[in-house]
């Protein structure tokens, strides 16, 4: 119960209105005025594609190579690839991405110091230390500010996850169910991308419609309680569900509409085709797409896995950058690559790892491109072995704050929420949270 007058522009009345709308499950009218006031500068970006490197990718083998550190650190991946930007080099297994270095900025001084998956994921995707409240992830916040409450009327929900949600991670936090992502399920790399709930194998549209009529005819309780607000809300959800089933959404996820050459370009695998699906989604106006890319928690057989997976990453992400740029979408679309932490620079040759890399939250890399982020640059630096930040630390909240700014969302502004809590989008230095400052050096003014 906050009894203090609010200084942030949400009045008590508005807060209550929110709380009630949430409790009753009615549509949030949303504090439009608050948003308008909050946007300090016009939005450069309208969408984010987040490539979530689930498990924590090795920074040394991707965007922060250290060939001079020797075999103990590099193992068999002993060289680096020069890129199309003089002075910048990246991992030897990323030759295609090397040809697009002018499009992205590499942050080599990400840090939070946490080596546990769940805490680190929470930190990197919310900008918050774990505490009494569970905060929403970036995707949920974007869905709050750019979604249904603010005029979004796209054919699919404003926050989409390809394909699986990250278990144990409450994307929406205290914002609640309405801001959870739509997880597609299915496999974009399969012959047909069977999006869960949209594509029902073996049930024709005609039968779908027929049985919907049956359902409505048998809605005896609903008819006995006309006007009940709980049931009205369920009916509204049902309409939205059928809109998804019969509307534009199916076509949007139908990758066979893309030319074969382009599909090859992205790579005929789950990740590559997820990148292609992500492009189609942002092209259609979806503001936030997360690709949950599994398999980077490489404690064992690390180098074998790198040789298998990095070419897939290289191909898919390079094709995505090229395709977005070619369509003029990169200017308004942020591509954010990274995981919850990096991996130990020193290779663990001893048993039971026998050539693996552990968790490393002290120093790791992230990559951002498009939407107002300048390409062809490097932010910060790690030390000679990649174990420590050597210059310009970047904390998760610095990166997230920069993304919000480019989206025209005030990172220091209030975070309206159905529980009426008086909270801000991101912690401030006044909260005692470490910060290296937002990424002004790579943000277009």
Partner 1 sequence: MKILFAAMVWGLAVAAPRAPAQPVRPYERSDWPTPANEVDERVLAALRARGLGPARPCTDEVFVRRVYLDVIGTLPTADEVRQFLEDTRTGKRAALIESLLVREEFADYWSLKWCDVLRVKSEYPINLWPNAVQAYHRWVRDAIASNKPYDAFAYELLTASGSNFRVPPVNFYRAVQGQDRGAIAAAVALTFMGTRLEAWPAEPRHELEGFFSRLAFKPTAEWKEEIVCLDPTPGGPLDLSLPDGTSVHIAVGDDPRRAFAAWLVAPDNPWFARSVVNRIWAWLLGRGIIHEADDVRSDNPPAIPELLALLESELVQGGYDLRRVYRLILNSRTYQQSSIPHSTGPDAEALFAYYPVRRLDAEVLVDALCATLGSGERYSSAIPEPFTFIPEKQRTIALADGSITSPFLELFGRPARDTGLLSERNNDPTAAQRLHLLNSSHIRKKIESSPRLREIVAAGGRDRRGLVRTLYLTFLSRYPTDSELETVEQYFGSKGNRPRHAVRDLVWALINTKEFLYRH
Smallest gap from Cβ 277 to partner 1, in A, equals: 18
Q: Which of residues 217-236 bind partner 1 (CB under 8 A)?
A: 217-222, 224-234
Q: Which is nearer to partner 1, 217 or 430 (CB)?
A: 217
Min dist. Cβ of residue 98 to partner 1 (A): 35
Of 134 and 322, nearer to partner 1 (C-beta) is 134
Q: Shortest distance, CB of residue 400 to partner 1, whole angstroms?
A: 19
In the complex, the smallest distance separating the C-beta of residue 27 from partner 1, rounded to whole angstroms, is: 10
Judge whether 73 and 348 are in contact, CB under 8 Å.
no
Cα(445)–Cα(442) distance, integer angstroms: 9
For residue 24, what are the contacts with CB-CB under 8 A and spacing of at least 6?
229, 233
| Per-residue mark of binding to partner 1, 167-206 (x: CB under 8 A) | xx-x-----xxx-x-xx-x--------x-xxx-xx-x--x
> 84 or 301: whose CB is closer to partner 1?
301
* SS3 state at 289: strand
Token couple for 71: 């075999």
- Which residues from 360-419 bind partner 1, rule CB under 8 A? 419
Q: How far is CA 2 from CA 28, 111, 135, in A?
A: 21, 34, 18
Q: Which of 207, 209, 268, 307 binds partner 1 (CB under 8 A)?
A: 207
Binders of partner 1 among 12-51, rule CB under 8 A? Answer: 12-13, 16-17, 20-22, 24-26
Size, binding site for partner 1 by CB under 8 A: 71
- Binding residue for partner 1, selected from 39, 43, 245, 421, defined by CB under 8 A: 245
Distance CA 199, CA 185 (A): 11
CB 2 to partner 1: min, Å:
9
Tokens of 418: 């159905």
Q: Which is nearer to partner 1, 119 or 385 (CB)?
A: 119
User: Most distant CA pair in the chain: distance in Å?
Assistant: 76
Estimate the share of the chain in helix, then strand, then coil, as percent rounded to the nearest 5. Answer: 40, 15, 45
Contact pattern from residue 100 through residue 139 relative to partner 1, giving x for each residue in contact according to CB under 8 A and a dash for the rest: -----------------xxx--x-------xxxxx-----
Phi, psi of 32 (to 5 degrees): -55, -40
- What tokens were used for 302? 């690390």
First to last CA, the chain: 39
Give the shortest CB-384-to-partner 1 separation in angstroms.
Answer: 34
Tell me the H-state helices in 202-293: 205-217, 220-224, 229-246, 249-252, 260-266, 270-283
Q: Compare residues 194 and 390 and give the one whose CB is closer to partner 1.
A: 194
269-328 residues in contact with partner 1 (CB under 8 A) are none
């Amino acid at each position: 119960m906050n009894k203090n007058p609010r200084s942030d522009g949400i009045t008590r009345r508005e807060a209550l209105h929110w709380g009630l709308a949430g409790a009753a499950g009615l549509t949030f009218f949303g504090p439009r005025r608050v948003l308008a006031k909050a946007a300090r500068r016009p939005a450069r970006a309208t969408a984010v594609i987040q490539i979530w490197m689930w498990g924590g990718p090795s920074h040394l083998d991707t965007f922060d190579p250290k060939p001079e550190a020797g075999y103990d650190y590099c193992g068999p991946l002993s060289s680096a690839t020069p890129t199309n930007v003089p002075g910048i080099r990246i991992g030897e297994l990323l030759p295609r991405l090397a040809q697009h270095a002018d499009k992205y900025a590499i942050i080599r001084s990400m840090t939070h110091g946490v080596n546990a998956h769940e805490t680190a994921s929470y930190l990197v995707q919310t900008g918050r230390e774990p505490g009494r409240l569970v905060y929403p992830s970036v995707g949920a916040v974007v869905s709050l500010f750019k979604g249904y409450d603010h005029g979004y009327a796209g054919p699919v929900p404003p926050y989409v996850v390809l394909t699986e949600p990250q278990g144990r991670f409450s994307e929406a936090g205290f914002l609640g169910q309405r801001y959870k992502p739509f997880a597609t399920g299915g496999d974009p790399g399969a012959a047909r991308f069977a999006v869960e709930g949209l594509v029902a194998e073996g049930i024709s549209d005609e039968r779908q419609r027929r049985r919907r009529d049956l359902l409505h005819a048998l809605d005896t309780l609903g008819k006995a309680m006309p006007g009940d607000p709980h049931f009205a809300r369920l009916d509204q959800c049902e309409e939205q569900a059928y809109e998804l089933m019969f509307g534009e959404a199916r076509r949007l996820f139908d990758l066979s509409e893309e030319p074969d050459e382009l599909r090859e370009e992205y790579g005929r695998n789950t990740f590559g085709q997820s990148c292609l699906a992500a492009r189609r989604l942002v092209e259609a106006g979806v503001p936030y797409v997360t690709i949950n890319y599994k398999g980077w928690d490489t404690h064992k057989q690390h180098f074998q896995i790198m040789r298998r997976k990095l070419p897939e990453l290289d191909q898919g992400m390079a094709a995505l950058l090229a395709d977005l740029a070619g369509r003029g979408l990169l200017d308004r679309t942020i591509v954010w690559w990274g995981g919850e932490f990096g991996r130990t620079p020193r290779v663990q040759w001893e048993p039971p790892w026998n050539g693996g890399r552990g968790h490393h939250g002290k120093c790791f890399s992230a990559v951002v491109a498009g939407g107002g982020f300048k390409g062809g640059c490097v932010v910060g630096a790690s030390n000679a072995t990649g174990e420590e930040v050597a210059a310009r630390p970047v904390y998760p909240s610095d990166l997230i704050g920069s993304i919000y700014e480019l989206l025209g969302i005030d990172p220091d502004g209030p975070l309206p929420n159905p529980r009426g809590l008086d909270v801000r989008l991101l912690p401030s230095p006044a909260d005692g949270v470490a910060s290296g400052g937002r990424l002004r050096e790579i943000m277009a003014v």
